[in-house]
Amino acid sequence: MSQLSGVAIRGISTAVPTTVSRVADYPHMSAEEAERFSRSTGIYERRIVSGSQCTSDLCAFAAADLLGKLGWERGDIGALILITQTGDQPVPATAIQLQHRLGIPTTCLAFDINLGCSAYPYGLLTVGALMNTAGIRRALLLVGDICSEVCNIADKSSWPLFGDAGSATALELDACAAPMYFDLMSDGKGAQAIIIPGGGLAARQPVTAENLVPVADKNGMLRNAANLVLRGADIFSFAISKVPASVLRALEAAQWTPDSVDQCVLHQANKMINDTVRKKIGVTEERVPTSLEKFGNTSSASVPLTICHTRDAWRFPCRALFIGFGVGLSWGTVAAEMGEGTVLSWVETDDVYPA
Amino acid sequence: MSQQEFIESFADAIEVDPAAVKAETEFKALENWDSLCALSIIAMVDDAYQVTLGGEDLETSKTVADLWTLISSRR
């Protein structure tokens, strides 16, 4: 259990690509299968990148939107941290390119963190603690993924679940900010539950012609070694058995009751998982916003995208829980008090930065 | 709760006619069995029996009765 004092969330923005991919149009499912899939998962459509659009393009657009609305100078930004599992290239870290591209001075420290569905609570603590320790007045936490690029389109156990998005959160040192309470956990025993086993810089399964040939698994799903594998049943068991306890620990640390929480934002895994977790936490449905229907599971960006998607609910100060869980396995909760007017509407972009 | 009630809940969760599911039914061989069915079963068992099944539990269980035995042993 960790507590972070003296850091305030000043703004949250999210960008998605314009291309809509509808589950009903997915060629690898019958109409009946697609209908059942959407009913069970709550996912009807997602935004996916086209052309050479990358995670950095979505995050840069969200960050520029946010800096503009806040009226912050580029020179104010002392740290820029990107959490992604789908960076623009294996090396160098995408955050460093974003520093240059956003016109932030070279005095800014920048690096990537490799986390997915648990990114948001992890990011808030990591960046907030860095700011406190190093005396960095203003910082940007970027989270984003383009999972459509790593899932095999013929793999119906992963492809139709994921959407692409990038988000920016502005943080500022503020001695008067209400403390945030964190419960962050890791369990590498579950590494196989969501994994891209090969490709990129992988040492165990490097990029070889052989590793890039799609092979059918025992359920007939086609993937190569660089495609994402999602073992849904294992993720489901993990989420419903570990996540509620994390949330309850964060609530206890903040000395909040479930009833006193205004907004409980869960990572958007799927409807069955999220409904089960919500019931176990004991919060009512209207306080659990969702973006599954329109955006699917957007990995690291799912919590801020859901916040931006339900912007009207964030007009007034409120008590919020941000809950991430998944790949790693990694999971966690933050209990935070949100100020008024910190949330921007999500925006669309097909911008591609010249490589 | 009895095995019969479990079988009915099982059929209900995966949206098949209860008459089509018996204790000796090899559930992964059912025509409409897929990964979504697995999630529905995990959710149903968690809710009704407070037992969390893992992916491996479903892998190693062959029949509906096997699954019931496993759940009963963990309650």
Tokens 């640390």 correspond to what residue?
A: A253
Is A40 within 8 Å of B40 when comparing Cβ atoms?
yes
Q: Is B40 exposed, middle or buried (0-12, 13-18, 19+ CB in 10 A)?
A: buried
* Shortest CA distance from B13: residue in chain A: A40
Q: Per residue in B2-20, is it b (16+ CB within 10 Å) or e — as a string?
A: eeeebbebbbebbebeeee
What pLDDT is attached to residue A201?
A: 76
Alpha helix segments (H runs only) across chain A: 31-41, 55-70, 94-101, 119-134, 232-254, 271-281, 292-295, 302-309
Residues ≥6 apart with Cβ < 8 Å to A133: none
Q: Over the stretch A137-147, which tens digit does the pLDDT of each residue have?
A: 999 999 999 99
Cβ atoms A112, A89 nearer than 8 A: no
B26 beta partners: B63
What's the whole-number mean pLDDT along residues A289-317?
Answer: 97
Give A53's contacts (C-beta < 8 A, 6+ positions apart).
A17, A146, A350, A351, A352
Question: Are the Cβ atoms of A232 and B39 closer than 8 angstroms?
Answer: yes
Measured distance CA(A201)–CA(A339) in Å, rounded: 42
**Mean pLDDT confidence for A278-289:** 95
Burial class (CB in 10 A: 0-12, 13-18, 19+), A35: middle
Query: Into how many domains does chain B fold?
Result: 1
pLDDT by residue, tens only, chain B of 75 residues = 688 999 999 999 998 998 889 999 999 999 888 888 999 999 999 999 999 999 899 999 999 999 999 999 998
Instruction: Put the strands of the sheet holding A180-186 in their side by side order.
Output: A2-4, A180-186, A330-338, A318-326, A263-266
| Residue B46 structure tokens | 């968690």
Question: Which chain A positions have a beta carbon within 8 Å of B34's beta carbon?
Answer: 33, 219
Report the alpha-carbon distance of residue A183 to residue A193 in Å, rounded: 21
In sequence order, the β-bridge partners of residue B46 are none
Chain B residue nearest residue A237, CA to CA: B54
The band of A355, judged by pLDDT with boundaries at 50, 70 and 90, is low
**Interatomic CA distance for residues A73 and A104, integer angstroms:** 9
Could you tell me which residues of chain A have a Cβ less than 8 Å from any Cβ in chain B?
Answer: 33, 36-37, 40-41, 157, 219, 231-234, 236-237, 240-241, 270, 272-273, 275-276, 279
pLDDT of residue A98: 98
Domain extents in chain A: 1-350
Of A232, A240, A241, the CB nearest to B35: A232
Instruction: Output the six-digit token pair for A230.
Output: 């999602």
Residues of chain A contacting residue B12, judged by C-beta atoms under 8 Å apart: none
Q: pTM of the full predicted structure?
A: 0.94
Whether B47 sits inside 8 A of A276 (CB atoms) is yes
Mean pLDDT, to the nearest integer, of A133-158?
Answer: 96
C-alpha A267/C-alpha B42 separation (Å) is 19
> Residue A142 and residue B61: Cα distance in Å, rounded?
43
Is a pLDDT exceeding 80 seen at residue A202?
no
* pLDDT one-digit tens code per residue, A69-81: 999 999 999 999 9
Task: Among A231, A234, A240, select the one facing B46 at the smallest CB separation.
Answer: A240
Q: Please say if the pLDDT value at position A148 is more than 90.
A: yes
Question: Does domain A1-350 match CATH 1.10.3720.10?
Answer: no
Q: Residue B25 belongs to what domain range?
A: 3-74
Q: How far is A38 from chain B (nearest CA, A)?
A: 11
Classify the complex by whether its ipTM is higher than 0.90, answering yes or no.
no
Which of A25-39, A136-150, A201-215 is the least confident region?
A201-215
